[in-house]
């Protein structure tokens, strides 16, 4: 759905008016790179990568070159940060695979979620919608077995509305790892009784997912959170786009 709102403040005011009229609204938020900045999590993993005993012994000349590697919010995974640090030197394919496997083992864990920080204004914005009366759903490609406990902990840590404390806040995660995030999220929306809501909004940073959801559910209002994404698809020019949740 194309949105006529010029900024987040205008969108929030329109939601407030509808809620004051007694309309039901569901506001759905992705987590990684939407509400949370994951670059500190990636930074922690890269710091540990440099001193990992097995990798140090296997790549003794390469790992010292990563000293001082710094992640950016715009980085997707570890590849960009490593390439930026090594500049024109292309690491061996074996190292690239080992580094990615090392990143994957740690990134998708309860413990490392605690290194995330906030996308500016995200917790205040979610709270404001919740206090107005909007129902809140956190819809994430994270899975329960590896990341369920940590997800609830960091939502509490950063003072978001907590799932399960009332009937208006929910956490929706994959029951197990694997599968396409876009398919998982679009299928979840299929289970929502859209006729019960006056409006449904979806805040997400990955264009692939937003394209899938808008194709299957054109009635949903999407907000593209322009932080980082995979590059597998470009955002639609008609989507409302924000870079953070600060209300001007």
Q: What is the pLDDT of residues 13-60, one digit of tens each?
A: 999 999 999 999 999 999 999 999 999 999 999 999 998 888 888 888
Q: What is the pLDDT of residue 181?
A: 97
Beta strands in the chain (DSSP E): 25-29, 36-37, 117-118, 135-143, 169-174, 199-204, 221-225, 240-242
Rounded CA separation 163/196 (Å):
20
Phi, psi of 223 (to 5 degrees): -125, 120
List of the chain residues with pLDDT < 50: none
Rounded CA separation 121/131 (Å):
15
Residue pair 94/100 in contact (Cβ under 8 Å)? The answer is no
Contacts of 13 (CB under 8 A, 6+ apart): none
Residue pair 62/95 in contact (Cβ under 8 Å)? The answer is yes
Q: What is the pLDDT of residue 158?
A: 97
The first and second tokens of residue 109, run together, are 């864990």
List, in order of start, the domains of the chain with CATH numbers: 8-38+116-242 (3.40.50.1000), 39-114 (no CATH)
Rounded CA separation 165/163 (Å):
6
Rounded CA separation 220/181 (Å):
17
Q: What is the pLDDT of residue 87?
A: 82
Q: What is the pLDDT of residue 230?
A: 95
DSSP 3-state of 124: helix
Q: What is the pLDDT of residue 152?
A: 97
pTM, 2 dp: 0.94
DSSP 3-state of 215: helix
């Amino acid at each position: 759905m194309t949105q006529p709102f010029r900024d987040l403040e205008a969108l929030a005011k329109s939601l407030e008016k509808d809620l004051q009229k007694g309309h039901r609204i569901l506001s759905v938020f992705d987590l990684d790179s939407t509400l949370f900045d994951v670059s500190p999590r990636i930074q922690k993993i890269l710091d540990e990568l440099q001193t990992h005993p097995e990798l140090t012994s296997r790549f003794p000349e390469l790992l010292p070159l990563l000293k001082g590697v710094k992640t950016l919010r715009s980085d997707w995974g570890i590849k960009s940060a490593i390439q930026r640090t090594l500049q024109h030197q292309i690491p061996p394919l074996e190292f690239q695979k080992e580094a990615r496997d090392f990143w994957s083992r740690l990134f998708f864990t309860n413990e490392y979620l605690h290194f995330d920080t906030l996308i500016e204004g995200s917790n205040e914005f979610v709270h404001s919608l919740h206090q107005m009366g909007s129902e809140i759903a956190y819809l994430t490609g994270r899975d329960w077995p590896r990341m369920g406990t940590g997800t609830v902990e960091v939502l509490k840590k950063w003072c978001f509305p907590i799932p399960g404390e009332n009937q208006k806040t929910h956490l929706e995660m994959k029951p197990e790892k694997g599968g396409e995030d876009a398919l998982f999220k679009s299928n979840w929306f299929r289970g929502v009784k859209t006729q019960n809501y006056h409006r449904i909004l979806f805040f997400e940073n990955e264009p692939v997912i937003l394209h899938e959801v808008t194709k299957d559910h054109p009635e949903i209002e999407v907000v593209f959170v322009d932080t980082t994404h995979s590059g597998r698809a470009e955002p639609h020019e008609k989507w409302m786009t924000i870079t953070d949740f600060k209300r001007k």
